[in-house]
Amino acid sequence: MPIIGKAAVLDGVEGNFHIKEYEVPEPKAGEFILRTEYAGVCGTDVHIYYGHLNTIEYPIILGHEFCGIIEKLGQGVVEDSNGRPVKEGDRVVIVPGVPCGNCYYCKISKTPTRCANVKAYGFMPDQAPHLLSGGFSQYVHIQYRGTSFFKTDMEPHIAVLTEPLSICIHGFQRAGGVRFGSTVVVQGTGAIGLGAVAFAKRSGAAKVIAVGGPKRRLELARELGADVTIDIEEIRDPKERIQLVKEETKGGRGADMVVECSGFPASVPEGLSYLRDSASYVELGHFTDVGTANINPHWHILRNNADIHGVWGSDVEHMEMTLNIIEKMELPYDKLVTQTLGLNRIGDAITAMSKKGYRLDGEDQVIKIAINPWI
């Protein structure tokens, strides 16, 4: 008897999620079938819903942040990307992006996140040959050659955070790491921003300032290591926020590093203004195109001698590093997942994260919504 699984299929920009039933294929050599436990709803899924990522083809099964249990192994899949033996029944976290290994970026410049032919779970059209390649589904067909994955014993509602948190690690790495005793500002207090707060503090920052909201997120920012929080719903004037940040730094000079995780264009000139001279700006919030920002290149970049880094996604090593940190559970990462919903409520999750200002079912404040396709 073939296994039948349900998936939520988005039919187009601002379209509908249809629950469809699929016959789960037999995994070929080198492949496996994953029984999804959790798939995180990302800001990027929201932007894809509204058509802000022009490479997307529909219909699509979204969901690139997912973990689950190996249901059925294809021939030759014997170990994870760390060389640990795997068997059916093991929990694994999947690295969504799969670089080709052959293009200029894979082979020569060695920047696999820039691969020209990348395939990524949760971003491919739900049409042959890519069927069942997104996490908003009871089963995912792990089908791309060279897919990286890691076995973990972590609870699935924490394991599902590996991919979003790995973006922060990539950002810090590109900026040359967090300097001991430095002041780091994080703009945005979604899951990635909160992860940046936690990791900046653990990397030796003396002061971490989180600029974001609403209240529940700022409380969690403090729990994860923020020394100062600035509520953008209370302090509405960016000039006032710039002044507040500067006052929190030695000599009023500004921050040593600013990490932009909000994805709002206007936050970029604001964040560049938080910097001291010759400091680092890390941009990882704008994974999709939500418009332009007004920057004065003289004042924001040259005069300040700013060091600006753009960060696209994350690579296998960032996923592995993230797992190494969160598996220790030294901080309450589990509090980042605030709601768990079934496949039939993905549309509600999208609305909560866009039109409803991170509120779901009345007053519940959303940080990360996880989809459990079995409820």
Nearer to Zn ion, 44 or 152 (CB): 44
Closest CA to 133 of 201, 32, 230: 32
245: tokens are: 């940040």
Is there a catalytic annotation at residue 44? yes
The minimum distance between CB 26 and Zn ion, in angstroms, equals: 28
Q: Which of 19, 53, 100, 235 binds Zn ion (CB under 5 A)?
A: 100
Q: 3-class DSSP state for residue 114?
A: helix
Question: Residue 336, CB half-sphere, CA atoms under 13 Å: how many?
Answer: 30
Q: Give the CA distances from residue 76 to residues 28, 32, 363, in Å, rounded to whole numbers and listed in that order.
A: 9, 10, 49
Out of 42, 48, 98, 311, point to the residue binding Zn ion (CB under 5 A): 42
**Count of residues for the chain?**
375
Distance of closest approach, residue 100 Cβ to Zn ion, in angstroms: 4
Nearest distance, CB of residue 249 and Zn ion, angstroms? 31
| Set 18, 36, 47, 162: catalytic member | 47
| Part of the chain binding Zn ion (CB under 5 A), chosen from 44-52, 243-251, 295-303, 308-316 | 44-52
The binder of Zn ion chosen from 73, 98, 106, 230 (CB under 5 A) = 106
- Shortest CB 163 distance to Zn ion, Å: 6
Which distant-in-sequence residues (6+ apart) come within 8 Å of 79 by Cβ?
85, 86
| Closer residue to Zn ion, CB minimum distance, 22 or 121 | 121
Residue 369: partners with Cβ closer than 8 Å, 6 or more residues away: 40, 41, 337, 338, 339, 340, 341, 349, 352, 353, 360
Q: Is 47 a catalytic residue?
A: yes
The string of DSSP codes covering 124-176 is SBSSTTS-S-SSSBSEEEE-STT--EEE--S-HHHHTTHHHHHHHHHHHHHTT
Taking CB under 5 A as the binding criterion, the range among 5-13, 24-32, 92-100, 125-133 that sits at the site for Zn ion is 92-100
Please give the torsion angle defined by the CA atoms of residues 344, 347, 353 and 357, in that order, rounded to the nearest 10 degrees: -110
Total residues binding Zn ion (CB under 5 A):
7
Closer residue to Zn ion (CB): 42 or 211: 42
Distance, CA of 175 to CA of 308 (rounded, Å): 8
Stretch that binds Zn ion, among 55-63, 72-80, 94-102, 316-324 (CB under 5 A): 94-102
* Smallest separation (angstroms) from Zn ion to the CB of 92: 18
- Closest approach, Cβ 56 to Zn ion, in A, equals 14
Q: Which of 252, 234, 250, 251 is nearest to 242 (CA)?
A: 252
Residues 69, 103, 293, 301: which binds Zn ion (CB under 5 A)?
103
Of 99, 135, 188, 263, the one binding Zn ion by CB under 5 A: 99
Site string for Zn ion, 2-41 (x = CB under 5 A): ----------------------------------------
* Residue 140 binding Zn ion, by CB under 5 A: no
Q: How far is the CB of 361 from Zn ion (least distance, A)?
A: 23
Q: Between residues 100 and 244, which has the closer beta carbon with respect to Zn ion? A: 100
DSSP 284: -
Residue 6: CB atoms within 10 A of its CB come to 18
Rg (CA), the chain: 20
Binding residue (CB under 5 A) for Zn ion from 39, 115, 255, 321? 115
Question: Interface residues with Zn ion (CB under 5 A)?
Answer: 42, 44, 99-100, 103, 106, 115
Residues marked active site are found at: 44, 47
